[in-house]
Amino acid sequence: MRFLVDQGVAAEHVADVGLLETSDKEIWAEALRTRAVIVTKDEDFAVWRSADSGDYPAVVWLRIGNTRKAALLEWFKPLLPRVLQALEHGESLIEVD
């Protein structure tokens, strides 16, 4: 999440809010409660977002295979403006590939 914060995006890692050892369902519930955006490589969140009619939590699904963190961030950095714009336009599921 440091990367997102460095880009001027308000962000917290699940570990920072005491959710590292919790289930995906609990993370979903907290994101719903706080109107947060979930940034994930986990398809489950995208499936849940597709099945839910609400606006939150929004999900940014990073569709990239196993990769090192540095490579992931290098891949994602030029895509971030498009993701932020999609969120600003109210998109609730953004697939990034």
8 Å CB contact between 63 and 95: yes
Q: Strands (DSSP E) along 1-97, which ranges? A: 37-40, 58-62, 93-96
State pTM to two decimals: 0.92
Instruction: For the chain, give the number of residues.
Output: 97
**90 has pLDDT over 80:** yes
The token pair at 69 is 């963190």
Which residue ranges make up each domain of the chain?
Answer: 2-96
The pLDDT tens digits for 35-57 are: 999 999 999 999 999 998 777 89
Q: Phi and psi of 12, rounded to 5°?
A: -140, 140
Considering only CA atoms, which of 42, 10, 16 is closest in space to residue 28? Answer: 42
